[in-house]
Amino acid sequence: MKAVEMTGRTVQEAVEAALQVLGARREEVEVEVLEEGSKGFLGLLGSRQAKVRVSLLENPEKVIKEFLEKVLKAMALKAGVEIRRREDYFLVSFHGRELGLLIGRRGETLNALQYLTNLAVSRLIGQRVRIVLDAEGYRKRREQALVRLARRLSEKVKRTGNKVVLEPMTAQERRIIHTALQNDAQVITYSEGEEPHRKVVISLRKG
């Protein structure tokens, strides 16, 4: 991360000077105030300039794309990468032929790559970002399958009275199960266990 330290009569003046040196806009940098500055007695004696460290933030989309292109190359896969910024996360869509290897069994490879991408990119840009990976609409198909599964298993719980423990899932997939059954007055859902083996439990609602 490129950074410069600048001084000025005020913090704002020091920041403006740093922005000129970096050739950046205010929203593209992180500002750390090292010294507030002081006018001194009568504006003359003991005056001290403000000092700031201004760091140029990495472009998340660029870092995500470069990281994933290296991974695809290592996997000998040819795929297009499309990145779209959502409200609180980045959605990365892969397009191409034979993406089954990238998805893996029940999305295991895609989920593992998503986890690694979140870790790597957050470390590279120096701040936490949330990234969701998808391949040829797999996430939507998986969501639909999980909703059907949740409803089918909830009926089993109502019929037998026994709770059902699902297989380990990612937080994203567990959320789908919880949401699918949140308005069902007869069952409740909760998660148990530790990551990455955390599971959803469906049981009868007491009373």
Q: Sketch out the chain's domains with CATH numbers.
A: 3-56 (no CATH), 60-136 (3.30.300.20), 140-204 (3.30.1370.50)
pLDDT band at 149 (very low <50, low <70, confident <90, very high): very high
Reference 82, options 74, 66, 93; nearest CA is 93
Give, in order, the Cα–Cα distances in Å from 19 to each of 29, 116, 183. 8, 33, 51
pLDDT of residue 190: 97
CA distance 166 to 202: 8
pLDDT band at 164 (very low <50, low <70, confident <90, very high): very high
pLDDT digits (tens, 9 = 90+) for 20-57: 988 888 877 888 999 887 765 555 555 788 899 998 87
Is the pTM of the predicted complex or chain greater than 0.75? Answer: no
